[in-house]
Amino acid sequence: MSTPDRLIESTRELLWERGYVGTSPKAILERAGAGQGSMYHHFKGKPDLALAAIRRTAEELLAAAEGVLAGPGTPYERIEAYLRRERDVLRGCPIGRLTMDPDVIASDDLRAPVDETLDRIRERIAAIVEEGKEQGQFAASLDGEEIAATVLATVQGGYVLARASGSPAVFDTGVRGLLSLLAPPSGVAPQAS
């Protein structure tokens, strides 16, 4: 792995573990196994490196979400796959946790990839809900944007509740509850897409 990649990966890990303020240039260099000054050789400074790290995390999160949301199955099954996909629940969402970091939120540059990532996932889920409504799988009264916001709120809130309780069980309970609300009515067979 190149030095810039090691710096980015180390910054990603530290941002997830410690937040922006707790991610010092010294800690980045130590974790990356990089020499003093290498950060400034490859990046303008900590904000530039943090932005590269946040962008890479956002790209990976979007790819993982798209992998299940664009996968096979009915709209319900794809939303279910998104909600039930493998996650390190007790560690939290690497993007969602950044919304709790006042330094990230105060910076338009650092906040932008966080906001864009959540918006893109929300838009994708909303489109799937609308597809499900057209197929008769979801009630016509559902609003795709509202359901998409609810799905993201369930995931992000589930992380918070799981971390607070020290158990992923509460995350799983929230997912099951939301899926039961979205499930097609009894006697209505979902149509495959």
pLDDT tops 90 at residue 185: no
Average pLDDT, the chain: 93
Nearest to 76, CA basis, from 4, 13, 16, 151: 151
Q: Which residue shows structure tokens 């990230």?
A: 104
Alpha carbon 109 to its chain's center: 18
Nearest to 39, CA basis, from 16, 7, 14, 11: 7
Residue 96 has what DSSP assignment?
G
The pLDDT value given to residue 193: 46
Assigned architecture for domain 54-182: Orthogonal Bundle (1.10)
pTM for the whole thing?
0.88
CA angle 132, 175, 75 (to 5 degrees): 15
Residue extents of the structural domains in the chain: 54-182
